[in-house]
A and B are shown apart, each in its own frame.
Chain A
Amino acid sequence: MLRIDTKRNATFCDGMKRRDFLHAGSISALGLTISPQLARPAAPQDGDHNCIFLFLVGGPSHIDTFDPKPNAPEEIRGPFKTISTKVPGMQITEIFPRTAKLTDHFSIVRSVYHTAAAVHDTGHQMMQTGKLFASGIEHPHVGSMVSYLKGSRNELPAHVLMPRPIGRTGGNLPHGQTAGFLGKSHDPFVLNADPAAKDFQIPDLLPPGYLPPLRTDRRRKLRDVVEEQFKELDKTAQAKQLDEQFQNAYKLISSPKTRESFDLDKEPSSIRERYGRTRFGQSCLLARRLIERGVRFVTVNMFETVFDEVTWDIHGSRPFTDISEMSRLVVPSFDQGYSALLEDLGQRGLLSTTLVTAMGEFGRTPKINPAGGRDHHPGVWSILMGGSRVQGGRVVGQSDELGYAPLNRPVSPGEVASTILHSLGIAPHQDVPGPQNRPVPLVDYHAPAIRELF
């Protein structure tokens, strides 16, 4: 049995046949058999598209990943060979063997750049909000824009961020992972837990472990008694709003669906293995589970800091890592998690309505430094976008011969934000109430969506 729900796929008009074909193909690639009793939740049917935003914190080197320079001198070319991929002419480095097989599912934009200070934090702001913060005003994360405009579909929040928010990355600036001026109600719901951990549990989602069900029931019963006195105030808008949030929280706490949504043990171990038993891999898997159950936007931070762990931030010297360590310690978990996510979404018929983006906050210096690493380089870098309305197998823009700057079609962070919104069917330049209710466009007018991707 290959298909669980044929009708669901039939609702997607665009590219149906190709995806159907892929579907059959990739199931065997996974080497899985799916039993009929493995009931899946009905994917959201409202026609709205979703997004999984994989944030490659630290800033992957574009030359060592998706913009190889095989003809450049060795100190620029780096240690990796260039390989061909599923899509003829679309080449990446050899360290992404799984991703290479799926290049028809996504496109590469090789000419992204920014002009702000070359620190992580500025890139975090711009890539997630489309804007560099000024005068202390925090622009909302794209996922929070979606939350603000669309609201949540069910008891699950509209925007979930995992595993944790970005912490220390040196610049001491905000990282653009909140709803900013749209207000705390639209901040992402933050997991604050590692889905790959053995005792994975989301803090505060469930009553403290020491409380038996008898007591949690008693607490709610007693609370209902007190709440009864407040009923007469319910007619006012404010009381209703607080009630709504609490009701939502209680729904989250008590609904079996919530527990089920966050319960990775419900996934067959073959699937969990396929994503990789890493923090990033299991986050990708959880992201898929949540999208399937109605969450609109999931942000996955591949890393939380660049200091206490081995990341894409390959300066070469300690506490950072160098190019070869990156290929051994960082790349495989990405290659595995990312490719599994694309395949899995494709098989479930969700890829055509789910945008999957993978990007860092900048690229890295083309010339390898004396420590065997590469430093921050916002001059040009590459990002991946696939699924939803974005066409696969394309390369947009080029960097110059040595990977220093865009050769053509320069793409600003604002254009990336517009592209995400556009793919989700949201007009990127519409005004929302900004600080002090002044109208602010979601993304600046001069940053349109990247048309070549659609």
Chain B
Amino acid sequence: MPHSTIVAILLGCFVFGFGGGNLSKAAESNLLEIYPPNMHLAGPGHRHGILVLGKYPGKPTVSLVSKATFLVEPPALGTVSKTGEFEAKTTGKGIVRIGIEGKESIVPLEIGNTPLGDKVSFTNDILPILTKTGCNSGSCHGALAGKGSLKLSLRGYNPEADHHVLTGQLGGRRIDKENPRNSLLLRKPLGDIPHSGGKKWDREAPFAHLVLRWITQDAQPAKESDISIKSLAFYPPALTGSPNASEPIGLLIQATYSDGITADVTSRAKFSSASEDVCGIDNDGLVRVVGTGESAISAWYNNLVATARVISPRPMLATKPAPGKVSNWIDLEIQTKLDALGIPVSGECTDAVFLRRSTLDLCGVLPTLKDIEAFQALDPANRRSIWIDTLLARSEYADYWTHKYCDQFLVTTKKITQSAVWAFARTLRREVANNRPWDQTCRDILTATGSNLDQGGVNFFLMHRDPGELNEAISVTFMGTSIACAKCHNHPLEKWTQDQYWSMANLFGRVTFKNGVRDDEVILIDAPAGDVNHIRRGIPMAPRPLDGPIVGENRREDFARWLTSPENSWFAKAQVNRLWKGLMGRGLVENDDDLRATNPASHPELLNRLAKEFVLSGHNNKAILRLIAQSSAYQRSSTPIGGNETDDRFYSHHFLKRLPAEVLLDAYSQVTAVPTKFEAITPGGGNGSQPYGGYPVGTRAIQLPDSAVVSTFLDSFGRPERNQACSCERGLETTIGQALHVANGTTLNDKLKNKEGIITHLSSDKSPPELAMEKLWLGALSRRPSPSELANSLPILKASWGGTPDQRREAVEDLFWAVLTSREFLFNH
């Protein structure tokens, strides 16, 4: 992305009615924005749009082009139409002077000597037309098998092949150089002859003329000497809209080429909106806002992507909603966005909710009765802060986060042996328990050599023996981005090309294995030579990480250094985004392994700053978790207040999280004091299970290093299979099957019946029913029963207290069932 140059001048003279008269003028001034910052057209005949936009706080961005005056100097260079379109007339240098209500701004102008229609380029002109009009899309000729007899590369990723197909195949009928108008490339889409895809082009459309010109100019292929596209800019980079705005908002997409020429490619770019419920964008780049909130809009042109943000605030209220409490800088960032959108903020959560939430989020366990006492004994002024530190120091913290990394690194006996699973999981746990700097942990894994039983990280390579699979796992796991699409063709939503994919794959082309002397031992050795071939070109690409430099002889080490260097923002961003999601319930980028330009963060500045803090802290995971947990945004109530019920990404209230499978199962064991037994595994990804005695009674589900441990409960509640590097593997949905299993299945009901459990004590006639309620409520919900709960439940218990021991027990079992199937229990709120 080019640096965004905003030509903005303060305009004090505009008089636009503001909703409430009490807004601070100094902080929220009106702005005039003019785009592009400069124009360097190829030559006479070329056109370029100019945007003149007025921005008013909390109001829709409007085009002021009809109120502006345009003065080209010298005038011979060209003219500007009423709609702000500049048309070049002659070669030269000058400026466009734009005046609006007494203020003036200047756009530098240069016009080259290549008139419109001269030197039409296959890659720069023709392929983008085929892409824009859908000819080479996945549903048409870009399909794997093509359509009809014509097969083009998907969105033009293979210009050489496309040129050959268009000019060389079918006896040259597709391109008729003798009689260009007779070319199938024109007659089919123009609808002159039957075309299964129908009529796609209008005869008068400029691009139809361009295609004709290209054929007239001998239908030249791409040449090495051709200029190439260097950058793509999206103007304006941010705009405000409203569902009530009468006119859609126009945009400008400007491409800059290797020779410095700029072109207005708005009509040739493809557009998409990340949140269609906020705004849509049509094929011509007109934005229509349909809801409130924020959306990213993207333009894709010639394998480059540029994005802009559309913000649509809630209707201005007479009084501005009161801002939330500010505990650290995170809250300032969150509040800025909430203010821009006019979303009110829920209050602070209670101590009981904080205790339960933080203990679940940081340690994956429910607070015990002892925890509750310990917390309450702390000084109310800073008990939350102290509690966060207490949690970060606990061994359950290491168990819980190790489990998350075992998910991320796909630790499972489906792929590696039992001893290898233990070796990898123990390595990870040691790193987490020591809070070792995350960059060091990752470098160790990526450069691991030797025995997989000594060096846990070797198993990462053992699991992904296919270079493509390894490549994809590494990009998802360490950079939070998926490059899988680029394996076969240029990434349709991203800037990654197929060449970049295979350059990166070749980084790991020298990883080889041999069997060790011990059982299940495999030794990783870096071979002195060897390469991974590009799947299409059949030759190796120079080994280099995505957009990094070509590496030296120590490929993996150079890569690991590039990956974890402070200049590489992918690494830190991916990690802090995951930490953030773990606590806040939603990533700043969602999904948390889908970082890409076309899927920007909800709070980009916040993400950048968190990543920076992470690097400054020495890649200290605990420091970042502490920072987030201490923010008021984290400690907010999950109860919505009027106006923020539908917010699902701006953190105006805390988001609910269903307890993950393992945490929920452990919570059942803890509250009932009946441990869960894990006695079998299904290794090798098969369906047959075999006994395994490595997990003594009392092992918690979160402590299992292996996803192949047999458990219907964990499967039903979405335990990830650890087949594929993707956070999407963990199911956090709720299903009927889960509800049925919890309510009627054996997992919970057997624990309730178990005579060894806590129910035996609580249903003793020596223990009053009030105590049973209190202990259950505190143990499961971290709070005492409310007066209405006491009033409605206690009589039922008391009635049974007069009966037989069995009747007492059954009543307490039923009470436990009621609490442990309730949503308050199943959710972290």
Contact = CB atoms under 8 A, between A and B. Distances in A.
A and B pair up: yes
Interface of A: 135-137, 157, 167-168, 172-173, 181, 183-185, 187, 189-190, 203-208, 215, 218-223, 225-230, 232-233, 235-239, 241-243, 245-246, 248-250, 252-253, 305, 429, 435-438, 441, 444-446
B114 to A, nearest CB: 38
Contacts of B793: 222, 225
Contacts of A219: 814, 817-818
B823 A239 contact: yes
Nearest to B727: A436
Contact of A429 (B139, B685, B724, B829): B139
A298 to B, nearest CB: 16
Interface centre among B493, B718, B728 (most CB of A within 10 A): B728
B591 interface: yes
A239 B738 CA distance: 15
A82 B147 CA distance: 41
Tier of interface size on chain B: 35 or more
Nearest to A220: B818
Given A172-B686, A246-B734, 19 more contacts: A135-B724, A168-B688, A172-B685, A184-B718, A219-B814, A221-B796, A223-B821, A226-B818, A227-B823, A229-B824, A232-B639, A233-B639, A233-B823, A237-B648, A242-B734, A245-B735, A252-B736, A436-B726, A441-B138
A135 B464 CA distance: 11
Contact of B743 (A207, A218, A241): A207
Interface in B614-645: 638-640, 645
Interface in B653-670: 653, 655-656, 658
22 contacts: A136-B724, A183-B731, A185-B733, A189-B737, A222-B796, A222-B814, A223-B818, A225-B792, A233-B638, A236-B656, A238-B658, A245-B739, A246-B734, A248-B739, A249-B740, A252-B740, A253-B743, A253-B744, A429-B139, A436-B594, A436-B726, A445-B139
Nearest to B638: A233
Nearest to B647: A236
B629 to A, nearest CB: 21
A96 B6 CA distance: 78
A218 B818 CA distance: 9
B145 interface: yes
A185 B686 contact: no
A208 B371 CA distance: 34
A228 B139 contact: no
Contact of A236 (B139, B638, B718): B638
A225 B139 CA distance: 54
A239 B736 contact: no
A243 B796 CA distance: 25
Contact of B484 (A135, A173, A185, A205): A135
Across the A-B interface, the 3 shortest Cβ-Cβ residue pairs: A136-B724, A249-B739, A222-B818
B158 interface: no
Contacts of A239: 656, 823, 827
Chain A contact residues, majority secondary structure? helix
B372 interface: no
Contacts of A237: 646, 648
Given A203-B745, A208-B744, A226-B822, A436 B482 contact: yes
Given A225-B789, A236-B640, A437-B594, A206 B469 contact: no
Contacts of B718: 184
Contacts of A438: 485, 493
B819 interface: yes
A438 B482 CA distance: 11
A446 B147 CA distance: 8
A235 B645 contact: yes
Nearest to A246: B739
A208 B731 CA distance: 27
Contact of A246 (B733, B792, B823): B823
Contacts of A228: 788-789
A234 to B, nearest CB: 9
Contacts of B656: 233, 236, 238-239
A189 B639 contact: no
B737 A218 contact: no
